[in-house]
Amino acid sequence: MKKFSIVIAGGGSTFTPGIVLMLLANLEKFPIRQINFYDNNFDRQKQIADACEIIIKEQAPDITFLATTDPAEAFADVDFVMAHIRVGLYAMREKDEKIPLKYGVIGQETCGPGGIAYGMRSIGGVLELIDYMEKYSPDAWMLNYSNPAAIVAEATRKLRPTTKIINICDMPVGIEERMAASVGLSSRKEMVVRYYGLNHFGWWTDIRDKAGNDLMPKIKAHVKEFGYSLKEEIEESQHTDASWMHTFAKAKEVFAVDPDTLPNTYLKYYFYPQDEVAQSNPEYTRANEVMAGREKHVFGECNRITKAKTAKGTTLEVDEHASYIVDLARAIAYNTHERMLLIVENQGAVVNFDETAMVEVPCIVGSNGPEPIVQGKIPRFQKGLMEQQVAVEKLVVEAWIEGSYQKLWQALTLSRIVPNPRVAQDILDDLIDVNKEFWPKLT
Ligand code: NAD
Ligand code: G6P
Ligand code: MN
């Protein structure tokens, strides 16, 4: 059986060890001969890489491992690029969150002004990875989950239209695990769903079990009362902090606005931005929580493993919830025709919506990539919301390409999260100040 070679771009990510452990746990399904790490931050990556090298030696000594900051080495002879970079690191995420809050506007990693600022940083970073892939391994596929996925996807659609990149998000995976648990199923894989939207901005319209029984009534009854909170928490390793528990509970109020569908959790930022501001601490945001939590734990544990020269007894966990990445790689490698939610160019999948929008819909994935499944016409309520949001995302990409201050100001103004153009401009000017190193110059 062919063994695959992969490069993890963003080797220094807090998610890298969990993903490596997940890949090692799935070698029977997806055999690997080589794992490369690539990052542009040598010191950060080294801490993760030294520990992962030990983990790989202990669990799968046949796999060749290489960690490098040299793209020529990292991207040579690979079948898949798994990309999860964060341009500007947590230091900039913190600014994305805190600057809007100064003006009473929610600051969030992927939504509103914070997401726009992050998008303006990410576009260049992801394009650079694509160019390395095309130069050194032109047959490879990039599985990208670098955020903000909506803006990154639109930028790659426009600027690298022929590249083999698939943008994917794990939020639906996490929510579907919760839906499955809420109706007593052991896995989301027992469900078949219909869904449409933009990334972090979508709705489920139909959920059935494998026999075709409609699960929507039971799931809706649960969400009506508890949102996506569960009486008994499940092993869903990524979304465990108290702030995530608040998000899952808040889905109840988002659902109430349109009880015909089940909403993505991220809609809370667009529907109830004032509530989110009210319960934020402008001195201590999610970035601070992650730095003190996941980042500290992962780096602390990696450094401990390196010192001990063994991963025995480690508290690092297999990120089983990330196994959707293996499903995606397998779908391409083995033409499995797996049905997955992906971010793809609309082209009629949402019939009454912009053909060029990057939408999130179920796709059948085979060796020539994803084939979107038509979701039909969508109601006026969702269409109105999506028109506004997709215009924000497209304006950001145009602003990046043209270096246009005006378009970026319009993007912020159009975001549902921002109350008016004056506040939009105040936030924008502060964001420009701190992003000089990362954004194109705007005139
Ligand atoms: P992190 O900061 O811990 O890791 C990101 C790594 O990327 C860092 O080591 C950094 O040095 C590196 N990097 C930054 N710019 C780079 C560049 N131009 N070239 C190469 N490497 C570069 O961040 P994290 O919290 O682990 O998250 C990583 C990414 O994954 C983020 O974009 C996050 O939003 C995303 N993410 C997406 C999903 C999803 O649903 N799509 C889920 C989880 C995380
Ligand atoms: C979800 C989203 C990701 C996002 C992550 C943030 O999984 O789908 O796009 O990056 O949450 O989580 P964090 O723990 O970093 O706030
Ligand atoms: Mn996501």
What is the structure's pLDDT at 237? 59
Asked if the model's pLDDT at residue 236 lies above 70, the reply is no
Distance CA 241, CA 234 (A): 13
* pLDDT tens digits along 13-45: 999 999 999 999 999 999 999 999 999 999 999
What is the average pLDDT score of the chain? Answer: 97
By most ligand atoms within 8 Å of CB, the mutation choice from 111, 239, 241 for ligand 2 is 239
Examine the residue annotation and report whether 170 is marked as an active-site residue of this protein: yes
Give the per-residue pLDDT at 234: 78
Say yes or no to pLDDT of 105 above 70: yes
Check if the beta carbon of residue 295 is closer than 8 Å to that of residue 302: no
User: Which residues are CB-contacts of 323 (< 8 A; sequence separation ≥ 6)?
Assistant: 22, 26
Report d(CA 87, CA 125) in Å as an integer. 7
Per-residue model confidence as pLDDT tens digits over 305-346: 999 999 999 999 998 889 999 999 999 999 999 999 999 999
Model confidence pTM above 0.90: yes
Q: What percent of the chain has pLDDT over 70?
A: 99
Digit-coded pLDDT (tens) for 166-182 = 999 999 999 999 999 99
Distance 86 CA to ligand 1 centre (A): 3
Mean pLDDT lowest for which of 11-25, 198-212, 227-241, 338-352?
Answer: 227-241
Each residue of 365-408: pLDDT tens digit? 999 999 999 999 999 999 999 999 999 999 999 999 999 999 99
With a Cβ cut-off of 6 Å, ligand 2 is lined by: 109-110, 147, 169-171, 238, 286, 290
For residues 441 and 403, is the Cβ–Cβ distance under 8 A? yes
Instruction: Give dist(CA 174, CA 165) in Å, integer.
Output: 22
Using left for φ > 0, alpha for ψ between -120 and 50, and beta otherwise, residue 338 falls in: beta
pLDDT, mean of residues 82-89: 98
CA 418 to centroid of ligand 3, rounded, Å: 21
